[in-house]
């Protein structure tokens, strides 16, 4: 575990330290697109954050290759090199798209090529562990098609959900943490050596996301862009492929002594799409809804719009930060529920906990204007927006504005100004200039 933590910290530190210089480079290179109608931010923000994340990936894998226990992953498996090959292609495509823009079909084609390169180097689904049947071997063509499809779906699901500050990096970090918990238990708990690459990939991915998040939280100073969103999507898909299609259930049966226990153990990985879909269910649902919505309206599935789940949360009244935390909550609930079922699928407490958390999540979702107030003794430990004194001042200002409107003294009523809400702001000019 210490070597994994070291690898995670190295990836996080390198990503964090590189993001600042990358931001300056992106501004100098002009990688700051104009504000689009569907965008949530109001000021041009540099992209190319994926450059720092790719540096964190390379640094994490480099350090891991020299550690006593993790170096066996590089000696006994070609999967780390396969990951770097595919990640390099995706990252280069994303950099070009962040700076100059790349056609959607070209991006789809390069994504398939990157997935194919990983398949050629051994990162592929070899068989499907189907409950009640056993291992179903796949032909080379079936293995290639299934692996490429999984990589492309995951990449685009993460890319589609990257619409709010800190959303994609946080959700992928949650998914990677769930992957890490599951794969680490498979490797050290049951001695399944095939789970070692997935455990390593997940640890590095957690570090990449944690290192980038401080720069990307609202208000974001830099965006990861397609160079980052497609990169972390590919790493996440690689973890799923590595642990899903190459872990032999018979090895687990030898450790547990019971095929029934093995079936319970492998609940999340019965099919190669079940685990990724359970871990990133929210981004995949957003992807499916976007494709259906655009096709129904006679538009291209790759055309951008403002109908994603995070946009809908903003439209019903949630703040930017609250919308992000709601998406975090549902991603974590689904991901860790799947991992919990893999540990003990017959536990009633897990079911009750999921039901209770789901009810709490629905309550928060349906109360967009509810804002919790921290007790006065805890105000110094919470953000200003949750402090009672600040909330009382905001409520008083809103009440005064409403009273002014009812009295006919609101700006715009007497024709004095046409600036709307801006006229309600206090005049910050010096006293001499007001005269």
Q: Residues annotated as binding site?
A: 159, 226
What gap in Å lies between CA 249 and CA 21, rounded to an integer?
46
Helix axes 140-161, 104-120, angle to 10 degrees: 130
Helices (H), 366-425: 388-406
CB 267: neighbour CB atoms within 10 A?
Answer: 19
Residues contacting residue 376 through CB under 8 Å, at least 6 positions apart: 388
What gap in Å lies between CA 354 and CA 366, rounded to an integer?
18
Helix axes 281-296, 167-184, angle to 10 degrees: 130
Q: Residues annotated as binding site for Mg(2+)?
A: 159, 226
What gap in Å lies between CA 175 and CA 209, rounded to an integer?
11
What gap in Å lies between CA 425 and CA 88, rounded to an integer?
50
Structure tokens at 407: 């009295």
Task: Tell me if 224 sits within 8 A of 233, measured CB to CB.
Answer: no
Structure tokens at 112: 């398939």
């Amino acid at each position: 575990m210490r070597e994994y933590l070291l690898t995670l910290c190295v990836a996080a530190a390198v990503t964090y330290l590189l993001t600042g210089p990358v931001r300056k480079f992106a501004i100098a290179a002009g990688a700051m697109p104009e504000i689009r109608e569907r965008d949530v931010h109001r000021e041009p923000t540099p992209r190319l954050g994926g450059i720092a994340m790719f540096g964190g990936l390379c640094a994490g894998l480099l350090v891991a290759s020299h550690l006593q226990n993790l170096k066996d992953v590089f000696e006994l498996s070609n999967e780390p090199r396969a990951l770097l090959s595919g990640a390099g292609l995706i990252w280069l495509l994303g950099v070009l798209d962040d700076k100059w823009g790349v056609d959607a079909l070209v991006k789809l084609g390069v994504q398939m090529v990157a997935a194919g390169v990983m398949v050629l180097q051994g990162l592929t689904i070899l068989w499907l562990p189907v409950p009640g049947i056993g291992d179903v071997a796949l032909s080379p063509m079936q293995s290639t098609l299934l692996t490429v499809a999984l990589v492309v779906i995951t990449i685009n699901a993460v890319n589609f959900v990257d619409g709010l500050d800190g959303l994609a990096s946080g959700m992928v970090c949650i998914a990677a943490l769930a992957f890490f918990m599951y794969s680490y238990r498979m490797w050290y708990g049951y001695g399944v050596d095939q789970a070692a690459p997935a455990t390593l990939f997940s640890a590095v991915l957690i570090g990449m996301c944690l290192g980038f998040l401080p720069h990307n939280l609202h208000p974001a100073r830099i965006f990861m862009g397609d160079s980052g969103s497609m990169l972390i999507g590919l790493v996440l898909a690689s973890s799923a492929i590595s642990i899903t299609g190459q872990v032999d259930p018979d090895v687990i049966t030898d450790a547990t002594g019971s095929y029934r226990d093995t079936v319970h153990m492998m609940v999340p990985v019965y099919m190669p799409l079940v685990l990724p879909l359970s871990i990133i269910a929210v981004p995949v649902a957003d992807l499916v809804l976007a494709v259906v919505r655009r096709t129904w309206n006679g538009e291209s599935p790759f055309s951008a719009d403002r109908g994603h789940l995070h946009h809908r949360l903003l439209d019903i009244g949630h703040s930017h930060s609250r919308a992000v935390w709601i998406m975090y909550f549902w991603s974590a609930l689904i991901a860790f529920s799947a991992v919990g079922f893999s540990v003990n699928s017959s536990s009633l407490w897990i079911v009750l906990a999921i039901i209770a958390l789901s009810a709490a999540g629905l309550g928060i979702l349906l109360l967009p204007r509810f804002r919790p107030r921290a007790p006065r003794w805890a105000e110094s430990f919470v953000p200003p927006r949750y402090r009672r004194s600040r909330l009382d001042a905001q409520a008083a200002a809103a009440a005064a504005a409403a009273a002014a409107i009812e009295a006919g003294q609101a700006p715009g009523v007497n024709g004095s100004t046409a600036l709307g809400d801006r006229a309600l702001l206090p005049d910050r000019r010096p006293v001499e200039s007001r005269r």
